[in-house]
Chains A and B, each alone.
Chain A
Amino acid sequence: MRGTIARLARNRYAAFMAIAAAVLLLPLVAPSLFYLRIATLVFIFALAVLGLNLLMGFAGQVSLGHAGFFGIGAYAVAVGPAHLGVPAWAALPLGAALAGLLAFVVGRPILRLKGHYLAVATLGMGLLIGMVFTNEARWTGGPDGMPVARLVLLGWTARGTQTWYWISGATLALGALIAINLIDSPTGRAFRAIHDSEIAATVLGVDVARYKLIAFVLSAVYAAVAGAYLALFDGLVTPATAGFLRSIEFVAMAVMGGLGSILGSVVGAALLTVLPQLLTVFHDYEQIALGTIMIVFMIFLRAGIVPGLAALIERKPP
């Protein structure tokens, strides 16, 4: 039995299968729609974190500004139908393309920076995008945000928690599948070579700037799609959607779940989405509990929850 589990876990599609199984089985055990709503939020955030993990965990480049791309996706499906006459089904890919394009344009100069300098540059980029959403009130409704019209596709309207549960769950599984295949491709190996040492990667003939840019653009597209889903699911966008704290939250999800782990992205997103819901019973002590849990987890599972637990299990004799 243990051997079977170990063999399954070593399969490179293990993370995909685990995610797909979770998406399929959760509705059977969820006692109410409220749980499905939380699960939908988890899937949406996990999608953004998955993209960020490609950039941070595999290519080794930090970003403290990914909420900016998330916000571009969210505002695209809000502003498109409301002001530009673009229906949501078209605004969604357009928003993702716009986020990708922006990442492509700013990526080259920004990704020359390293470590904490890259962190502050991406932080600045995210803040600048967020400021546009806050200040261009004519288009975005300003600090109060704006309502988002429902997604209509060939006469069918996507509404309700269950619909969005399946849409976001399927997209997350697809996103994981794409990520797994990418990691196992020459591009993925180039990412990991850059992560280990840029100079060594260059010597081996990896076009470092190009592959960093690919990771950055990809992660921006993942974030934008997730942002669009959140806006369509919630029916509302506010500048907080794209705020600095959201960027920090994405990084915390990726790191706590486990950098370089596909399943870790989902576990990290689940932890930091579900925890605040559970901790509301503590009322005023909610932040204290959340901060303490973050510290304790990171001290005891430094590599993140999924890689950390995997190492613990492997160390035990069968």
Chain B
Amino acid sequence: MPEFLQFMFSGLTVGAIYALVAVGFTLIYSSSDVINFAQGEFVMIGGMVTYVLAAAGVSLPIAALLAIVVAVAVGLLLHRLAIEPARDASAVTLIIITIGASILLRGVAGVAFDKNFHSLPPFLGAEPWHVGGAAILPQSVIVLAGAGIIVLLLWLFMNRALYGKAMLATAANRVAARLVGIDTSRVVMLSFAVSAAIGAVGGILVTPIVLTSYDVGTLLALKGFAAAMLGGIGNPVGAIAGGLLVGLLEAFGAGYLSSSYKDAIAFLVILAVLFAMPQGLFGRNTIERV
């Protein structure tokens, strides 16, 4: 039982980060049909900028805030300079553009910062708490709580704020949204900004546990993309469920079966789910017009 709890805690912690990356994918995809493979770089920027500023003597909260600002600025630039000019290009062309952006951002981070692994001090101390015989790091609780708060804020924004409603409307039907006077290209811009902020917060929260470096983004984008597809792309609830599920599968797979094949277990389950439900867990059936 303690073992089970232990695996669950670690699975949920990693899963929460995957979920945040997957939510970022989902937000951008819903408003623009773009699969943004540079999503993992936002997480990297959050962690790395916070570390660099904190190492330079800036207090942690301010460093974290500035890191989010930097990530949002990068997200907006990415949209303005790379996505917007190719707005009407095919999905696969846009994917190559975001992959190019991901390589570019990794390159910039490697030059602007360095190529070493870095960590941040845990926000609430490093002494683990004991729950039911399992140990949980306070930072893990912060990651989970942080992810929960982000999701709650996002839900409030989507359902209460005018801009959030515009995002929902754009996701539901872009032409109809434009017809009722929503500036959809602004909504896409906003979705890049929000996705970047969410990714950066995830990066800041998780860095005390898993370390960060200029090239952590690739793997996170991969897992986040898989999680978003597992949940059903375009569905934020699905993204969160998918992220947590991938994290849990990895942790239990590594714990009970084989640590060298932990990713295999996660992907085997994803394949099995997609064979049974080709639109993901929460995806809707789409109808093709001929």
Contact = CB atoms under 8 A, between A and B. Distances in A.
Interface stretch (B7-15, B56-64, B66-74, B92-100): B92-100
Nearest to A115: B91
Contacts of B89: 298-299, 302
Interface in B244-290: 260-261, 263-264, 267-268, 270-271, 274-275, 278-280, 288, 290
Interface stretch (B103-111, B118-126, B142-150, B152-160): B103-111
B222 interface: yes
Contact of A302 (B81, B93, B111, B270): B93
A117 B277 CA distance: 10
Contacts of B280: 117
Most chain B CB neighbours (cut-off 10 Å) among A56, A109, A292, A298: A298
30 contacts: A56-B92, A112-B278, A113-B274, A113-B278, A115-B91, A116-B229, A120-B225, A120-B229, A121-B274, A123-B226, A124-B270, A127-B263, A127-B267, A131-B263, A131-B264, A199-B290, A252-B96, A255-B92, A284-B111, A289-B107, A290-B107, A294-B99, A295-B81, A295-B82, A295-B97, A295-B100, A298-B89, A298-B97, A299-B97, A302-B93
Q: 9 tightest CB-CB pairs across the interface, nearest first?
A: A291-B104, A287-B107, A294-B100, A124-B267, A291-B103, A288-B107, A120-B229, A295-B100, A302-B89
Interface of A: 56, 62, 109-110, 112-117, 119-121, 123-125, 127-128, 131, 134-135, 197-200, 203, 244-245, 248, 251-252, 255-256, 259, 284-295, 298-299, 302-303
Contact of B264 (A110, A121, A127): A127
A311 B92 CA distance: 19
A295 B274 CA distance: 31
B86 interface: yes
Interface in B157-188: none
Contacts of A56: 92
B97 A131 contact: no
Contact of A290 (B93, B103, B261): B103
Nearest to A302: B89
Q: On chain B, which size bracket covers the interface?
A: 35 or more
Contacts of A109: 275
Contact of A124 (B93, B103, B104, B226): B226
A289 B110 CA distance: 13
A286 B107 contact: yes
Nearest to A296: B100
Contacts of B108: 288
Interface of B: 35, 81-82, 85-86, 89-93, 95-97, 99-108, 110-111, 218, 222, 225-226, 229-230, 233, 260-261, 263-264, 267-268, 270-271, 274-275, 278-280, 288, 290
Nearest to B89: A302
A121 B274 CA distance: 8
A86 to B, nearest CB: 27
B46 to A, nearest CB: 20
A200 B290 contact: yes
B101 A288 contact: no
Contacts of A112: 275, 278
A259 to B, nearest CB: 7
Contacts of B218: 245
A198 B288 CA distance: 9
Contacts of B270: 120-121, 124
Most chain A CB neighbours (cut-off 10 Å) among B101, B270, B274: B274
A47 B263 CA distance: 30
Contact of A197 (B103, B226, B264, B290): B290
Contact of A284 (B93, B101, B110, B264): B110
Nearest to B258: A135
Nearest to B108: A288
B93 A291 contact: no
A299 B82 contact: yes
A198 B287 CA distance: 12
B14 to A, nearest CB: 17
A127 B110 CA distance: 26
B96 A298 contact: yes
A291 B107 contact: yes
A113 B111 CA distance: 40
